[in-house]
Structure 1
């Protein structure tokens, strides 16, 4: 296990919400971390032996699961999708709140009844969660994997429904879609590599520091 403590952070909206939590936990990134033009991915902090990496949200869990990072911040949507047994998620940080929802065109939803579904075709970034959600009530889900621009799928006839993260719902409305089911409530968690938790004595105190930072 690398002696340097690496904390993996997701790019984008959650990163902005995570920075105050990091500060309350006593971690201040180097100045270049806030440089939008920087192409660097690894950053020093005010604490010797503690570094940050900035990666795609779905990749945070992979870096932590395989021990390249000992700690990370990831949404429980990512944890549900991948189901890594190597990851322990001890703290709900209360940031990045949104929901994973089923959505479809508004005119379709006007006469649709989800209780009658037996087979659905869905475009989603979350095929595992989607199949499990529908399978739990006996509905067969045919999933088309997309990594973005989900709202285009119904507009272009690729799929009549989508399963995607929803925060304000504005993007759905602007593309003529409405939510018809909530699959899961989502928030970001502190995640820990299980092997590091057992073997690296520096990890456990950080769990308590992040828990206190989340409650502050």
Structure 2
């Protein structure tokens, strides 16, 4: 969804900050969001906070409650749907990257993938998520389809990678990195079918881990 508030406005600033806090897990599912409290914390008036909360509701990140809003907690079925969409997007991006990516685009993906040791050894979950996001974003950039890239950016609001990263063990992180290596190899070999299927499987592997953790 496109932000409806102009950049630089109080509403846009509040929207961006609250969205980031929800996505990063700083504001947790079912946590209550009350305009007067948020206005005090963000040192602004209630109007831009209310407008920001309405936009977040339209994005599906919060739901209206009796008093204010609460951060939406996705059901198991909704999580599966989110990952099914993600698998389709990631698969298509990898396929197109394998078909279109030139040397420079491939080198950018490879450069980010080279940080795999940092992903394995680091206890900094924000760093792990950041490098993971950079890797996948580089594939979308390399695919050469700006519309697909834009759709993915909108859909990524519901990936909640920060919260999921908190659940991953070292071994599960290693398996995820192996998935990155397999995707990278397929793109390098210009094997579109393999790139697509590997990217999709990578997402479904992440879904399996997520659902196991949520039991």
The structure with the largest helix share of the pair is: 2
The structure in which a higher percent of residues are strand is: 1
Bin the TM-score by the shorter chain: under 0.3
TM-score computed with the length of structure 1 as normaliser: 0.21
